[in-house]
Structure 1
């Protein structure tokens, strides 16, 4: 049976290189809205439009651009949109807004922010890298455990490999589901205490 943990290590390395956009990869200058959509679509392989971004601004999910500036979209806007992109599959727009409000209070008022967007993003990317590193470290142990279960089934090598991939996928889904529920419950619990 092929070594699945090597494949997982390779894939997580690719994710780390491609999916984690370093703070140094963000343009140091302000952008036009069209440049923002181009940047996001290129880096995130998503389909952002001007309308989508403007709706997030109108809904006060992300901050509005600086008044009177043609290039009104800063590095902070890119950070907000990248973080939002990661949260979107897990949280509703209202929940994302609530998460941002925990550290940034009123989204359009910088003076009440608890931290800067750059600091938040640096923490996020560090946590992302750490999570992938921890995943790599535990993937070998998980593979051993799953192989023991499979070896008792007396399957062909090909069928054993298929079953190992199936069990690994459902294990990842179980973890993702648990983390998603944990995020929802934590937000709900915190909102209930306010």
Structure 2
């Protein structure tokens, strides 16, 4: 009989953590200037090498109000806000439908094209997501979700009490989706060449 190549649980966990680290960058590493759509696509595809984006895909997300419209009258109408939205979409789209992604965003941002009704800013959402993901990779890679930590983070936010549950759900869904996304891409990695 042929020998079975030992993949080992630690090898799988290491692969998953490497994939997770490569797709999670601090907000400070996002471009500091506005971008053309082609530059947005390049940025997202560099982070998510298993994902493919086209102009049509992004325009459909805009038309469906999954992500916000680019700024009118500017050649480079895409900002850090659009990049954050597309990073979140990139984690969610392998697992959730377009309508489900919209529901997740509505938990924290209500109307996608109205910044005035956001419960928290997009930058805060990304910073929370980044903090949770990097902390989980370091401290609890085998735990699906650190519920206690999520609750304490949400409690520390300066938002209305009635909005805290919505933000908790938003952050929890993002954390679960990111974990599922890493697991899926790790499984694909293991199957390459088989």
Tell me the TM-score normalized by structure 1.
Answer: 0.65
Q: Deviations over 1:122-178 (max 9, x none)?
A: 11112222333354466xxxxxxxxxxxxxxxxxxxxxxxxxxxxxxxxxxxxx89x
Compute the displacement of 1:8 (Å).
4.0
CA separation in 2, counterparts of 1:56 and 1:19?
Answer: 21
- Please report the RMSD computed on the Cα atoms of aligned residues, expressed in angstroms: 2.5
Asked if the contact 1:32/1:71 (under 8 Å) is kept, the reply is yes
Compute the displacement of 1:35 (Å).
0.7
> Which shows bigger deviation, 24-33 or 126-135?
126-135
Larger Rg: 1 or 2? Answer: 1
SS in 1 for 2:52: coil
Match of 1:108 in 2: 113
Post-superposition, which runs of at least 4 consecutive aligned residues in structure 1 deviate over 4 A? none
CA separation in 1, counterparts of 2:7 and 2:93?
Answer: 33
How do 1:31-180 residues align onto structure 2 when only pairs under 5 Å count?
Answer: 31-45=35-49, 46-136=51-141
- Is residue 2:33 matched to residue 1:4? no
Q: Which segments of 5 or more consecutive residues in structure 2 lack a partner in the other structure?
A: 1-5, 144-175, 181-194
Asked if the contact 1:28/1:75 (under 8 Å) is kept, the reply is yes
Asked if the contact 1:36/1:78 (under 8 Å) is kept, the reply is yes
Match of 1:24 in 2: 28
Compute the displacement of 1:49 (Å).
0.6
CA separation in 2, counterparts of 1:41 and 1:34?
Answer: 11
Compute the displacement of 1:77 (Å).
0.1
Match of 2:154 in 1: none
CA separation in 2, counterparts of 1:84 and 1:19?
Answer: 13
Match of 1:184 in 2: none
SS in 2 for 1:66: coil
SS in 1 for 2:96: coil
Q: Which segments of 5 or more consecutive residues in structure 1 lack a partner in the other structure?
A: 139-175, 181-194
Aligned length: 142
